[in-house]
């Protein structure tokens, strides 16, 4: 079912991990999320520079960042890390939304096992697969409900 309220345009999906960041993108019609790359986390800001480059190349209408919550919905130390990274991305000028990503990494591991890849062999792509799952869920949610998923990341002082 297609809602008239669905916003066309490329979206970037991001799975923020402690060691790696998975990056995915959608097509312009917002139908399908596909993997892009895995970026190593870096203290020097090169991870944010890599995201900036994808933004420049893809010109997305928005960026979807996975919000890691515990199964009960509570915030965790990973939640603060993802929110901080999302805020840094938002300062680059493209709208950013945080979307609940509970079980996305578990689902990604299951998908990789389903195609015969061990956890060790999947390490380099698992974050991309998680980013695809997060972004696809956001696309499907918006298409089904006609409203943008998750919560916007605000960059002004009171946010």
Q: Which pTM was predicted?
A: 0.84
Percent of the chain with pLDDT over 70: 80
For helices 77-90 and 46-58, what crossing angle results, to 10°?
50
Question: Which pLDDT does position 109 carry in this prediction?
Answer: 53
Is the Cβ–Cβ distance between 25 and 33 less than 8 Å? yes
Burial class (CB in 10 A: 0-12, 13-18, 19+), 124: exposed
- What does the alpha-carbon distance between residue 21 and residue 154 come to, in Å, rounded to a whole number? 21
CATH 3.30.420.140 fits 11-147, yes or no: yes
pLDDT at 145 over 50: yes
Where do the domains of the chain lie?
11-147
Give the β-pairing of 20-26 and 33-40: antiparallel
82-97 residue pLDDT tens? 999 999 999 999 999 9
Is the Cβ–Cβ distance between 132 and 26 less than 8 Å? no
Question: Which pLDDT does position 125 carry in this prediction?
Answer: 79
Backbone dihedral angles phi then psi of residue 100, each to the nearest 5 degrees: -50, 125
pLDDT bin (cut points 50, 70, 90) of residue 51 is very high
Q: How many CA within 13 A on the CB side of residue 100?
A: 11
Q: Which alpha helices (DSSP H) does 8-118 contain, by range?
A: 46-58, 77-90, 104-114
For helices 104-114 and 119-145, what crossing angle results, to 10°?
120
Question: Which pLDDT does position 69 carry in this prediction?
Answer: 83
5-49 residue pLDDT tens? 678 899 999 999 889 999 999 999 999 999 999 999 999 999 999
62-119 residue pLDDT tens? 999 999 987 777 888 889 999 999 999 999 999 999 998 865 555 555 555 565 555 5
pLDDT at 3 over 60: no
Question: Which pLDDT does position 76 carry in this prediction?
Answer: 84
- What does the alpha-carbon distance between residue 92 and residue 25 come to, in Å, rounded to a whole number? 17
């Amino acid at each position: 079912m297609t809602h008239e309220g669905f916003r066309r345009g490329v979206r970037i999906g991001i799975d923020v991990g402690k060691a790696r960041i998975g990056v995915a993108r959608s097509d312009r019609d917002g139908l399908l999320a596909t993997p892009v790359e895995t970026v190593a986390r870096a203290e020097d800001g090169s991870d944010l520079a890599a995201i900036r480059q994808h933004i420049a190349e893809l010109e997305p209408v928005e960026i979807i960042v996975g919000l890691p919550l515990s199964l009960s919905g509570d915030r965790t130390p990973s939640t603060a890390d993802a929110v901080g990274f999302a805020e840094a991305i938002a300062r680059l000028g493209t709208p950013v939304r945080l979307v609940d990503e509970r079980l996305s990494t578990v689902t990604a591991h299951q998908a990789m096992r389903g195609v015969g890849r061990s956890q060790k062999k999947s390490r380099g792509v698992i974050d991309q697969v998680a980013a695809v799952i997060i972004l696809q869920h956001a696309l499907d949610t918006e298409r089904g409900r006609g409203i943008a998923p998750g919560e916007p990341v605000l960059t002004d002082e009171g946010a």
